[in-house]
Amino acid sequence: MMGLLELLQYQFMRNAAVAAILVSIACGAVGSYVVTKRIVSISGGISHAAFGGVGLGYFLGVNPITSAIPFTVAAALTMGAVTRRTRISEDTAIGVLWSAGMALGILFINLSPGYAPDLFSYLFGNILMVDNGDLWTMLVLDLIIISSALLFNREFVAICFDEEYAEVLGVPVDAFYLYLLVLVAISVVVLIKAAGIILVMALLTIPAALAKDFSSDMADIMVKASAIGIITALAGLWISYIFNVSSGAVIVLVLTALFGAVQFIKRRF
């Protein structure tokens, strides 16, 4: 069987490998906050609402990833505002906006002329289809995520661990909570091509959850989560190519197997 280095002689595989690295960096940074803050469910709602942005792209005749950025950010801000400022319970708000986003995506696609040939890749991912334009978009979004984490790590850590204490320190808690959801939305857009909307939550949470088992320092968790993501994404990419199966699904299964193995070892030793 071909090794990963041999596969990198192909342009589409080099693009996929770079995408795997960029995706893992986004996962490592934002996923660490998501897992620590325990907002996995609301992150799941944001990821599924992103399908509305994909459908909007088809309807307008533009790149679905481009249209998904403002749509997903708007969905994240709406979800955050509703859960923080109304009496609607968080799970109800997530369910409503999750469903609305998916429904809008389907409606936009139905109203679009022609056929949406690569729609499956946005639902379940196909990292082998990433082109240079997608890579540049991922790189820009990664830079936004990294710079935000570097500039506001103190504030994010404060609201993740204790919002009341963060308020005492003078941190505008609501503003940074919404900003964190915006970063989640941006991460979702980065991940769509790699894993698809259906599987995106695994990539956003499993590497960070694994890293959190070995460190309590947020910066260290981010680095470890990124490293775990890169290794497992490249391994999943190689396996999926060899067996000609969905890359996103294999990457998620590799991560899940690693998570299960770590938990088993921790229980035994």
Identify the domain containing residue 114 by its residue range.
4-268
Residue 165's φ and ψ, nearest 5 degrees, are -65, -35
Distance CA 143, CA 45 (A): 24
Nearest to 194 by CA among 162, 146, 240: 240
Per-residue pLDDT in tens (0 to 9) along the chain, 269 residues: 556 667 778 888 899 899 999 999 998 999 999 999 999 888 889 998 999 999 999 899 898 888 999 999 999 999 999 888 887 887 888 888 889 999 999 999 889 887 766 677 788 788 888 888 889 988 998 999 999 999 999 999 999 998 998 999 899 999 999 999 999 999 998 888 777 887 788 889 999 999 998 888 999 999 999 999 999 999 998 898 888 888 888 998 999 999 999 999 888 87
Domain count, the chain: 1
Task: State pLDDT tens for residues 2-13.
Answer: 566 677 788 888
CATH number at residue 83: 1.10.3470.10
Task: State pLDDT tens for residues 116-157.
Answer: 666 777 887 888 888 888 899 889 989 999 999 999 999 999
- Tell me if residue 10 falls in helix, strand or coil: coil
Task: State pLDDT tens for residues 206-228.
Answer: 999 999 988 889 999 999 999 99
- Tell me if residue 257 falls in helix, strand or coil: helix
Sign of the alpha-carbon dihedral angle for 180, 182, 186, 191: positive
